[in-house]
Amino acid sequence: MFTVLNDFNWNTKQETLIIGCFKNLDTKLNGLLENLDEKLNGQLSLLIQEGEIDFNNKSVNSIYTLGRLGPKKLVIVGLGEEENFNQDNARDTFGSVFKSLKGNKDTISILIESFTNKSLDVFNISRIFAEAFSMASYEFTGYKTKNNEEKSNFNEIIVYSELECNKVKSSLETGYIFGQATNSARNLVNIPSNLLTPSDIALYAKGLANQYDMSIEILEKDMLNQMGMGAFLAVNQGSSEPAKMIVIKYQGREDWEEVIGLIGKGVTFDTGGYSVKSKEGIVGMKSDMAGAAAVLGTLEIIGRTRPKQNVLVVIPTTDNLIGPNSFKPDDVITSMCGKTIEVLNTDAEGRLVLADAITYAKRQGAQFIIDVGTLTGGVITALGYEMTGAMTNNGKFFKQVLGASYNSGEPIWRLPITEKDKERVRNSRIADLNNSPGGAGHAIMGGAFLGEFAEETPWVHLDIAGTAVAYKPTDLNALGGTGVMVRTLAFLVNEFSTNVFNEESSMSLIN
């Protein structure tokens, strides 16, 4: 996919060449552009004087060289002020470059160093470039019998870099793997529930585990029953598709210790059960397994990059349907850890399936737990569609997750869980907990409920109900599944594996 070369020459024949330019350069040309201007007999400075080239961030200026230079076409990318250029706008910038090249069949080349500044070295930029490239080129082909969309077809991208070609190449490959795994998660989210049942997810997970040499176990209904997973199984009662608990172990260390547990909500379709959703609210509920998709995407990255870290993935998967056997409001169920739950709302099913998964992960040795899922509409009310809601019982662990989220361009925002919030989920006349304490602070109630099962284990809950699906396409996201949290979780696992996670630096990333 990527060829890294260090012998750039303006006369080498190429198709499309991409160059980044900071805004402060528009009065005085730097070495690179000066050189280019000479080659073009001063026409570049002329164009700049005429205001024909926009150096603002994300602007894409195409110039045809009409045979005067090796490259047929130059794409001059405005980067804005050098001191403002950071990871986030680098991602968006590359995203918009690739969007503007959609349908282009040329081989593209890039002068990667022209995108670097003090805070982004060539390796960072290379990773971000390749990641953005794969994310921006994602398309869900869907099920239309006629598909006329033009696809770009970059089989090869030539990256010019003056230093350490091998290291640049491996940064590019890492970024590309991160992007591709994000796209895998997007696909899973976009497939409708009639075509992606719990059994299908289990099959997919098996394929992944086999491909990357990880151990996998699918816990079937009998087993779940035996283990007492009454919370998870209650949600499955109305379904003709059997619930499955998918358990995958990736052992990256000698001993099975310091295990990170990644748990993904895998509700393949959420009708709300007898607390049924409205006809508007129910559309889109095929995406209620986006948490499962996220942890499977993370596993794909782990499989390909093989960090020295133990990871346990647990995916409780079922749909939430209505039938003669469905669980009902007022039911009292017993979770795996023994805590009883009064069901006040069958639509608060995510926390029920995750509760047993958390208990199970702890018993399998998880010493850190992250659960991720589309838990509440309330998180959308609280934080909108840009921020994933985070809740935790451990500030230190949270900071590590926050650092990983920053470095992945997937923002999270912490919501509190106070003692009063805990009291609300513990408030039931007939059981230990209730699953829906009512309107106020919905998202927090989901977190507080799960916290009752995490107990002392350092734990972060990520509510992606607002971020798992894009309703408007952006530079990096097509409509539909975003694959959110795949990269954050993979980054976190990586940080754990290197054991040099710097808390100070991740703190300074918060603004």
Contacting positions for Mn ion (CB under 5 A): 270, 347, 349
Q: Tell me which of 57, 374, 392, 405 binds ligand BES, using CB under 6 A.
A: 374
Q: Which among 277, 304, 328, 422 is annotated as catalytic?
A: 277
In the complex with Zn ion, which residue's Cβ is closer, 270 or 356? 270
Binding-site member from 378, 403, 447, 480 for ligand BES (CB under 6 A)? 378
CB of 414 to ligand BES, least distance (A): 19
What does the angle CA 261 – CA 267 – CA 270 come to, to the nearest 5 degrees? 150
Tell me which residues in 454-493 interact with ligand BES (CB under 6 A). Answer: 465
Q: Could you write out the DSSP letters of every residue in 474-492? A: -SS--SEE--TTHHHHHHH
357 contacts ligand BES (rule: CB under 6 A): no
Q: Number of residues interacting with ligand BES: please give it, by CB under 6 A.
A: 16
Map residues 99-138 to x or -, x wherever contact with ligand BES holds by CB under 6 A: ----------------------------------------
Q: How far is the CB of 280 from ligand BES (least distance, A)?
A: 11
- Shortest Å, Cβ 288 to Zn ion: 4
Rounded alpha-carbon distances, angstroms, from residue 218 to 142, 362, 503? 28, 17, 37
* Binding partner at 70 among Zn ion, ligand BES, Mn ion, none, C-beta below 5 to 8 Å by kind: none
x/- site string to ligand BES, residues 271 to 310, per CB under 6 A? -x---------------x----------------------
Q: What DSSP string runs through 246-276? A: EEEEE--SSSS-SEEEEEE-EEEEE--TTSP
Which partner, Mn ion, ligand BES, Zn ion, none, binds residue 131 by CB below 5 to 8 Å per kind?
none
Structure tokens at 198: 């719990």
What is residue 62's three-state secondary structure? strand
DSSP string, 69-109: SSEEEEEEEE---GGG--HHHHHHHHHHHHHHTTT--S-EE
349 or 356, CB closer to Mn ion? 349
CA distance 239 to 325: 8
When the beta carbons of 103 and 192 are compared against Zn ion, the nearer one is: 192
- Between CA 453 and CA 330 the distance in angstroms is 21
**Residue matched to tokens 């490239």:** 133
Query: According to CB under 6 A, which residues from 327 to 346 bind ligand BES?
Result: 345
* Shortest spacing between CB 443 and Zn ion, in angstroms: 13
Residues 348, 444, 450, 490: which binds ligand BES (CB under 6 A)? 348
| Phi, psi of 269, rounded to the nearest 5 degrees | -155, 135
Report which DSSP code applies to 277. Answer: P
Under 8 Å between Cβ of 373 and 350: yes
Active site residue 351: yes
**Of 168 and 391, CB closest to ligand BES:** 391
Q: Which of 23, 265, 351, 414 is flagged as catalytic?
A: 351
Residues in the chain, total: 511
Burial 302-328 (b: 16+ CB within 10 A, else e): bbbbebebbbbbbbbbbbbbbeeebbe
Q: Does 245 interact with ligand BES (rule: CB under 6 A)?
A: no
CB 287, min distance to ligand BES, A = 6
Q: How many CA atoms lie within 13 A of 24 on its CB side?
A: 6
Residue for token digits 């022209």?
A: 114
Q: Is 280 left (phi over 0), alpha (psi -120 to 50) or beta?
A: alpha
For the segment 42-81, give every residue that binds ligand BES (CB under 6 A): none
Q: Pick between residue 202 and residue 468 the one whose CB is nearest to ligand BES.
A: 468
Minimum gap (Å) between residue 225 Cβ and Mn ion: 23
Question: Closer to Zn ion at the Cβ: 288 or 410?
Answer: 288
Catalytic residues: 277, 351
